[in-house]
Structure 1
Amino acid sequence: MAVPKFQEIMLPMLNLAADERVWALVDAREELAKHFHLTMEEQEELLPSGRQSRFANRVAWAKVYLQRGGLLSSPERAHFQITKRGKDVLANPPEEISINFLSQYPEFQDFRNRSLKQDNTEIENENDSDTPEEILESAYITIRKSLVSDILDRVKSCSPRFFEYLVVDLLLKMGYGRAGGGTGECVGQSGDEGIDGIISEDRLGLEMVYLQAKRWEGTVGRPEIQKFVGALHGRRARKGVFITTGLFSPEAKAYVQNIDPKVALVDGRQMAEYMIDFGLGVSLAESYEVKKIDSDYFEE
């Protein structure tokens, strides 16, 4: 089954706490994983950030919401225990414990009001089934995808010569050439034999990366890659990068897997992603930091 939403976890978590013991969150995760018959792959599925598993994140937020509703207490960090209110709920259990169910308690209403409103404007749907981290990451991914499309549209509207300079700038931004004191230059012109740029990875020019930049709308096939490889052989080159605003055919991708020289293929979307990651052609609009309690500071 899919990883359960955090609201689906709340009632099983409260049932788990019915024995009145103090539960460690890590132990609760194991029991809840068994309850939902989750495979190891499902338990290890990561959030888009890659820093935390989706299931662990949802279990943690189920605890937070139950605690804010007064059904659980937290006697120590990353632990929980059922409260009298929690036991009263289990005496006549609902079909599910949801945000709507918890909203009957004034403490939870205060918590939601503080979380949801800013300048009297509601910024989150009351019935959202995603955790705050998932909502934030989903918004980030949407913004990033839009930026990737905008970058591609802008690059395609520029001249082929500008694109050649962009490709060289991108490789330098990514660290090729500069780490060893090397340089980069555009060489694309009539008679360039398919080479548009060269990155020298060291001061003496002993290691070179040869570039080809194709500002295409369609798909780059194997024949174009073979021409580039031929140009690399003509220069006795060992490394090449072929960057296009379009896509590569499956045949082109398969061809470069087992050839010498080594050739990296970068399509339009990958190029735009790299431009974002390495700060080329983009500027910082907003920056948000997500922080958590430093438990060590509060130790007495």
Structure 2
Amino acid sequence: MTEFHDLPQDEQRRLIYPEIIRVVRLLGGRATRAQIREELKNSSRVIDVETITAEKDSPNRPGETFRPFDFPFYMSIKDLVFTGYLSDEDRHTVALTDKGREVDMNSWDLTKEVFKPARAEWNRRAKRNKQLREANSENSVQPVETEAPVPTVEQAEDTGDAIEQTEMSLPESEDPETEFQSRLHNALMGLTPIRFEEFARELVKEMGVTIDPDLGIKATGDGGIDGFGYVTGDDFRTTRVAIQAKRWQGTVSSPEIDRFRGAMDKFNAEYGIFITTSDFSQDAVRASRSYTRMVTLINGTKIAELVRRYHLHTQEVTAWVLDDDFFHPDRV
């Protein structure tokens, strides 16, 4: 069986199109790009978790990584917007149109109805951007980029460094949420293990857990946990919470969940929180829900969401961009 990343770009996107529509329908007809990708990991039978979460070293940004899957994923979302199956509500969120709600995916001609018309739109935009750059050059004015240069489909179907450069720019320009998550991930990976465990405890504290000042704090001999705390409910019942923090690149598998549950037993913890910079395999997700003591899983996407929610070591800013279609010089 051919691996997803070995498929031509058009075949990759023909696999992704119906999955995006299925997921947005499942999520109620409206979702952020991050939510769509997260649900793909949880429920897709077409694209496996490892394909979605795999990372590579950036050829242009030493010490940083990117996800190869993000390029066809974001291209596919834009293709569905261009062809009227999705609408862009903002730079984070897309919604199903009537066309997207009603399409019969069993008889959907993906090449004719999505890929080819979207290809024409990508090429039109590439031509427009080239004209704008040439006009700016003739007027000796430095161009102000309001969006990343849009690749032609022919460029997207090439292989090598050019594709990796495009992958690094397009997803970030399409979704500031993903750009933030990528930068946060690289920052967390730059922390020492001890500093990351401190960050994890601070995050859990913001979630309403009172951190124990002694348990799980030691750098070594911590009994298999990286923190411990207590949650007191409205009925004044207190629950013991064990914390595990893994600053990893690879996917966390189910044996890690089992080992953590064993550590929970040592401390009589009724509840566990497992935090990782990477992601969890489907077996790990199933293992976390087994037995009577649940383990809440917090992956890199969820970390970014919680950091924004609690403003933990972050500052919110607002950016404005021009509508290139409206301000295009050829528009009459």
The interval holding the TM-score normalised by the smaller chain is: 0.3 to 0.5
Question: Based on CA coordinates, which of the two structures has the bigger radius of gyration?
Answer: 1
How does the TM-score come out when normalised to structure 2? 0.43
